[in-house]
Each structure stands twice: as C-alpha cells, then as structure tokens.
Amino acid sequence: MVSSIIFAGGSKLIAQLWGNNLWFYNTMYFIAFVILSLYFHAVIKYKTVRNTILGMIFPVLAFVILDYVTIEGPNQFNSYAISAQTFILMIYCAIFFYQLLRDDELVKQSVFINSLPDFWYNSGIFVYHCGYFLFSLAYNLMNFGYQGVKGSTRLTLAITFIAGIIQLVLLYIGLTKVKKIRS
C-alpha cells in the first residue's frame, strides 16, 4: 500500500517537474516486483519454488538494467522488462493457486479457499497482471501508432483498467476476510 502511494505520488510529481516520469515508473515497477516476489516467497510452501523466487530477483534486475540502458532506453516505457516481470508474477500466482488446490491441511480442517484472505489477494494480483500483461507487451506498438494496432489501443487500455478495478474489488474482499478471521 505504501509503495503504491509513493509510486503514484512520485510519478505525478516527477511528470510535472521533468515532463517524463518513465525512468521512475520503470524503477518503481521493479520495486513492486520485488515486494510481490517477497509476498509469494512468504505464502508459497514449496521449498524449491521459494528458492527460485528469491533467485529470480537478481536476474530480473539484470534484465531490467539491460533493457533500461541498452534495449529501450531510460526515457521509454521498458515494455520488455515490464512484460517479463508481469509474466513471472502471473506464474507465481498460478503456483499459489495450485498450492491451495492441493493443500491437504485445508481439506482436513474443512477450510474453503475462498475464506482465506491470501486467496483473494492472489486473485486480485492475478487478474490485474493478466490484463496488464497485454498492455505492457503491446505498449510500444500502440505508442508508435502502427495503423493495424491503433484500433485495438482503446480495447487494450479498457482491459487493463477493468482488470485494475476487479483487482481492487478482490483486494477489498480479501481485507474483509482478514477482519472475519480475527473476530
């Protein structure tokens, strides 16, 4: 939550001061990737997956720096690095869903997965990143205005924004589940 506020406030301020906030956006997206990776490291039980999650942070950082410095540049939306980070987070979400479906402890305790806050958080993260993946992958094509892509720009943005709204609803449901568990 705190990183999102810094992300939004910093992006707005930097855009007003310098006119281009994409270097900040690319940096903050990587920080958000690290935060979500640490979240998945905490909730996923499979030891090899947990080690892989931690091990992925530095190669992803190397790719982010490579994309920032040589491939797309500092004042551009680094769609290659952001798409890779988004795809990796989608994989983490799928692994967590798989873990919930295969968890014998939940079955023994008669716990429904939709009563768990982490299920709803993961659902929100997954839905948002599914919509955002399409946007991040196609951003440079949309931005350069190729004629074949221009018509689908609005559709891609709509999918991303709808996924963002759904994410907020799912995160809210997760927060309401936390209150019920504490009571």
Residue 12 forms part of a structural domain: no
Please give the Cα distance from 58 to 146 (Å, whole number): 34
Residue 137 forms part of a structural domain: yes
Please give the Cα distance from 115 to 25 (Å, whole number): 34
Residue 170 forms part of a structural domain: yes
The Cβ-side half-sphere exposure at 135, using a 13 Å CA radius, reads 18
Residue 126 forms part of a structural domain: yes
76, 23 in Cβ contact below 8 A?
A: no
Average per-residue pLDDT for the chain: 84
pLDDT in tens, 22-44: 888 888 999 999 999 999 999 99
What is the span of the domain harbouring residue 125? 22-182
Residue 131 forms part of a structural domain: yes
Instruction: State the pLDDT at residue 76.
Output: 84
Question: Which residues neighbour 165 within 8 Å (Cβ) at sequence distance 6 or greater?
Answer: none
- Strands, E, within 128-171: which ranges? none
Please give the Cα distance from 47 to 95 (Å, whole number): 12
C-alpha dihedral, 65 to 67 to 70 to 74, nearest 10° = -80
Is the per-residue pLDDT at 74 higher than 70? yes
Residue 72 forms part of a structural domain: yes
25, 14 in Cβ contact below 8 A?
A: no
Local confidence band at 60 (pLDDT 50, 70, 90 cut-offs):
very high
DSSP 113: G
Please give the Cα distance from 108 to 106 (Å, whole number): 6
Percent of the chain scored above 70 by pLDDT?
87
Instruction: State the pLDDT at residue 143.
Output: 65
Structure tokens at 112: 């429904």
pLDDT in tens, 111-153: 778 788 888 899 999 988 988 888 888 777 666 555 555 556 6
Residue 8 forms part of a structural domain: no
Structure tokens at 150: 């221009």
Please give the Cα distance from 51 to 44 (Å, whole number): 10
pLDDT, greater one: 81 or 159: 81
Residue 1 forms part of a structural domain: no
Report the number of distinct structural domains present in the chain: 1
Instruction: State the pLDDT at residue 171.
Output: 76
Percent of the chain scored above 90 by pLDDT?
36
